[in-house]
Structures are given as C-alpha cells and as structure tokens.
Structure 1
Amino acid sequence: MSFSENYYPSPDGLNLYYREYGSDEGACPLLCLSGLTRSSLDFHEFAERYATSRKVYTLDYRGRGKSDYDTDYKNYNPQIYIGDIFAFLTTKGIGKALFVGTSLGGLLTIAMAGLAKNYIAGAILNDVGPEVDKSGSSRILDYVGKDVRFKTREEAAAQQKKIYGGAYPDLPEEDWLGQAETTFVYDETAKNYRLNYDLSLGRALVDQLNAKEQVDLWPFFRELGDLPVLAIRGALSDVLSKEVFERMKEEDPDMEALVLENRGHVPLLNEPEALKKMDDFIARIR
C-alpha cells in the first residue's frame, strides 16, 4: 500500500478519514480537497505521482467515503467543512500546505484564503471559481442525493458513461470502470453497489442553493492574489464559465491558467497537458 489510512476527530466528535502519502517532510505538503460527492479516492494517482518528493494528504469530508456520516444533514455545509479542515491541519501540525481543490474543494480553498490565508502556500483550483454557473448547479442538484444502485461495477460504469460522457468525450472505455470504482461502494447488506456518500447531501444542497443570501467569494479570491495560483478549466465545463475564468485572470494577473480541451466538469488531473503544468507549478513551491 502506497499510503496509510488514518482518522482525525472533527470539532463535534465525528471520525474523519484521510490518506497520507509520502515520507519527505522537507517540502511543502499537498492537501487535496475533492468535489461535493467525491472522496479521497479521486486523488490516488495524483498523490502517488507527487508523494515521491513531499507529503500528500487526501481527505474524505464528513458524509463521504470512510468518514462518519452526520446525523444532522444541515452540517453538510462549507462553514462546517472549513472547521473540519482546520481541525485536520491542527491535528497534523501543518503550518502551510499547497491546496489542491476540485470543484467544492476549490471553493473551500478560496474561502480559506479569506479566513486563514496563512495556511495556504499556493493553490490549484480545478474547474471552479468564485461563481458557479447556474446551468452547472442545476445539473448537480438534479443528481445529488438520488439512491442509484447497480448489481455490477460494469453496469455502474455504463451508466457513468451515459450520464457524463459529454464531459469526457475521448475517455477510453476502460477508464469508465475506474470512474465507477471511485463513485460506488459495495453494499454488503443489499448486495449491490451504492453511491459512496450520505444521500442527505441532496437535502443540504437544496437548502444552500435556495438560501436568500449567497456569499460573494470574489473578495476571498482576491486574497489569493499574492500567492501562487494555478487555475484549470475544462473547455466544456458548465460549472466554471468562460466569462468567470476570464474575470479570474483579470483579478489575478499573475494567476497561471490552463484550459483543457475535451473536458467538462471536472478535469481528472491526469491529462498530459495538466500534468506538465502541475509538475512545474508544484516543484516551485518548496
């Protein structure tokens, strides 16, 4: 096993799971934060690649993967997640990290910049910015929290391709099975594959999107202005619009920007062009 499996306590007593890769503590560690319904599994190949030169941590938010589920669905919100991230940093004694945030993970990274910038050595924002396009949020709302199950991984992979094929038009057939393996977990009781997160996330998302007041993240994003930032956008993305991406570059002229063709929401971070860019970016943050 190329990683160790560990848990840390949340401020309200949940056991939250994380993976720790690598042994070199001399360089700035990477802290990987996944998307809304995703888990640490998404970053396995990424973590193995960069763990040769530094520590890499990949977290399961509460209600995802191997972390405890919360009995109160209202705790599935960004404010609580940020508190959990603070608890992780404190538990591990991490003073600074290079944050790698995909989708929700990127939003949390932006929020952290406004609340506790001192923890951030730099940021990789994967297909996310201070504004989420309404078409993307509507699409996400349509599927989050639905109890979808399959008898085999192959059936799950076929459904993944049917639903998300537009975001990955050139993805090899065998990679769809990998997508299924990071999305579903085997339910020993029901003898089928279920989604690897608490379905109550759907209720939480409805509340958050329908809230009368929405947080303006642009001031938080500006706090990243004097830090190394690499922003990646899928050219087919319905979450990070071209207009918002262009404004991000205007707000932060030093931000490195990469657009990946044939990718929607979200790039997988294994694309050759992305790897080349990330290799250089990460190597400069010691």
Structure 2
Amino acid sequence: MASGENFSDFFYAAPDGLKLHARIYGDANVGHWPVVCLPGLTRNARDFHELALYLSARAVVRRKVVAFDYRGRGQSAYDPDVANYNVGVEASDILAGLAALGIEEAAFIGTSRGGLIIHLLGAMRPEALKAIVLNDIGPVLEADGLAHIRSYLDPSPKPRTLDEAVNTQRGVHGGDFPALVDADWERMVWALNRETTQGLMPDFDPKLVETLAGLDLTQPLATLWPQFDALAATPLLALRGGNSKLLSVQTLEEMSKHHPNMKTITVEGQGHAPFLETGDLPSAIAAFLDQAEHQHSSTRKAQDQS
C-alpha cells in the first residue's frame, strides 16, 4: 500500500483477476461508519479528494473514507473486454474491494454512475448500505442528459496544457456551472486528467466511450424504481444540480414520494454533477451522516432494551 497526500493507495483483485485501485483516507475509526465514494462514468477517486479530506480529518466526526477507481479509470487496470464496462460488473468489483478491506457496512456516496451502482448494491448486499448520498442521480435518467454526456465524450477532449484543459472544460460545461471559480475548474482538470510525456490526457480507457455509442436515446430508457424502492428504509440524501440535464425536478419530486424521509439539496449554479467540495456541501454531507448514524444507534439501543 503506497502513500500519497493524506491518503494511501490500495490495490486489490477483481473477481476476474483484474488489478483495481482505491484511495484510503483516515484511520479505522472504530465505532463510526466508514464512507465509500463511487465516481461517475469516466471519473475516478480524485474527484472526492477534498471531500474525503474533510470527512476524514476536519469534520466533527472523522471517518475512514474509501474512494474507488472502477476498472478502466484512474489507477485501475484497463479491461481488454469493453463489455465488462457495465454497472453490474463494477458493482461486483466494489463488493470485492470492500471484502478485501474488511468493510461489512458503510455510508455510500455515489456521483452519477456511482449512484446507479448503489442501486444495484442495494439489491446485491442491502445490509452493507447504512446511509446513502446520491449526487445528481436517481432511478430515471433523462435522455437529454445522456446525449450531452455522449456529445462531450465522443471524441474525448485531449488537452495538452492546464490552460487548454480548463478552457475546454469551461467551453463544454460553463453554461451549466456559472457558480464555479478558477480553482474549481483547475481541480476538475487535475481530477479528470493525468500527466504524460505528451501532456495532459484523460485518465480513462478511451473504449469507455463505446459503451454509450449504442444507446438509442429516441426510445424510453429503462428505470430503476424497484431498486430505488428497496432503499426506502435506508437514510438518503439526494443532491441535484440546479442546472442538471440528467436528473429532472420531476424525478426528484417522485423520489421523495417513494422515500418520504429522503432529504434533498438543490445546488444552485451547478449542473451535472455538483462538485461535492464546494460551498456548504461537505458540512451538509457530514451532518447527514452523523444524524443517520446517531438515529441508527438510538434505534438499536431501544431495541436492545425492549
């Protein structure tokens, strides 16, 4: 296990033997739920760096944080079979990583595709999910949002310098993210890209783009309402970017009907998906996790006494 800036690198084997990676922040924190962070389609563990530092070192209740790189992203190995880039395989990979780390239960934070994986984990290992934060994702995906993602990934931008990369991201996302400042855009660029001898390069397998190519966005998309309904007993915080194209206001309202105790935050001035380290989001997420864990402990104590 190698060390980085306030984190350690953890490598483990997927069920099919592929070498996968996660970042570990903080100590074991016996007595408090760890936090598992799952990124978006082409993103990686670096997306959660600032939030992980907050939750593991600066929050009132400090927690161990595990941020995963899916296969084909970040420091995880690329898969020679593009068909394995799917949420089912990736969910199994996450369970393998949790087993390797000895984590039986945790709070989960899922951005975009990470939230879809959480839906599947709820069916595969419901007892592992103690609290959930869904970042701009739900059981219904809007075709316009998927079309937007496909448009800026095909072809994937190939910036060579920081300034070029920042300008590229602003050109694609600036209209949806007027709240971001220069430092936010630079963090996004460093999270999305890796440094190479040829300059900055997107830090994911280019074949990932093929997984979107076959989607027929003129037809109704499959939904995950049964999987979402299975999460009804789990404390849930849903975040939505005020300018999101992927998670609609109508879907968020319907989610609240299916999960009456769900808490929601709309992040104004941001689109898909909100930057979790900005504004009051780190403290709001920490407070949600603390309240969920406190309520769980109180309920268990009352059951033990009855």
Q: Is the TM value for this pair above 0.5?
A: yes
Amino acid of the structure 2 residue aligned with 1:49: Y
In structure 2, relative to structure 1, the CA distance for the partners of 1:25 and 1:243 (3 Å cut) is: same
Give 1:215 shift: 4.6
Taking the TM superposition and a 5 Å limit, the aligned residue runs for 1:137-286 are 137-188=146-197, 191-207=198-214, 215-286=222-293
| Alpha-carbon distance in 1 for matches of 2:33, 2:99 | 16
Are the aligned partners of 1:145 and 1:198 in contact in 2 as well (CA < 8 Å)? Answer: no
Look up the equivalent residue of 1:221 and give its one-letter code.
Answer: F
Contact 1:144/1:199, CA 8 A, preserved across alignment: no
Among 97, 107, 116, the alignment partner of 1:98 is 107
Q: Check the 8 A contact 1:34/1:102 in 2, yes or no.
A: yes
- Where 1:12 maps in the other structure, the secondary structure is coil
Secondary structure of 1:49's aligned partner: helix
Is the Cα contact below 8 Å between 2:157 and 2:168 reproduced in 1?
A: no
* Structure-1 separation of matches of 2:279 and 2:183: 18
Q: Which amino acid aligns with 1:278?
A: I
After superposition, give the CA deviation of every residue in 1:204-240 in whole Å (9 maximum; x if it has no partner): 2223567x99653101001111111000101110000
RMSD, aligned α-carbons: 1.8
Tell me, yes or no, if the aligned pair for 1:145 and 1:201 is still in contact at 8 Å.
no
Aligned to 2:301: none
Q: Report the equivalent of 1:4.
A: 8
**What is the TM-score of this pair, normalised by structure 2?**
0.88
Instruction: Tell me if the contact between 1:167 and 1:266 (Cα under 8 Å) persists in the aligned partners.
Output: no
Q: Give the Cα separation in 1 of the matches to 2:9 and 2:267.
A: 32
Whether the 8 Å CA contact 2:55–2:282 is kept in 1: the answer is no
Cα distance in 2 for partners of 1:273, 1:4 equals 26
Counterpart of 1:17 in 2: which secondary structure? strand
Q: Which residue of 2 aligns with 1:89?
A: 98
Post-superposition shift, 1:186? 1.8
Instruction: Report sequence identity in percent.
Output: 35
The answer as to 2:61 corresponding to 1:57 is no
Distance (whole Å) between structure 2 residues aligned to residue 156 and residue 213 of structure 1: 34
Distance in 2, Cα, partners of 1:150 & 1:271: 25
Query: Given residue 30 of structure 2, which amino acid in structure 1 is its aligned partner?
Result: E
- 5+ residue gaps, structure 1, are none
Indicate the residue corresponding to 2:126 in structure 1: 117
Name stretches of at least 5 consecutive residues in structure 2 with no aligned partner: 294-306
Q: Counterpart amino acid of 1:3? A: F
Q: Which residue of 1 aligns with 2:137?
A: 128
Structure 1: how far apart are the matches of 2:237 and 2:287?
Answer: 11
1:43-82, aligned counterparts within 5 Å?
43-52=48-57, 53-82=62-91
> What is the CA distance between 1:166 and its match in structure 2?
1.5
1:145 CA displacement: 4.8
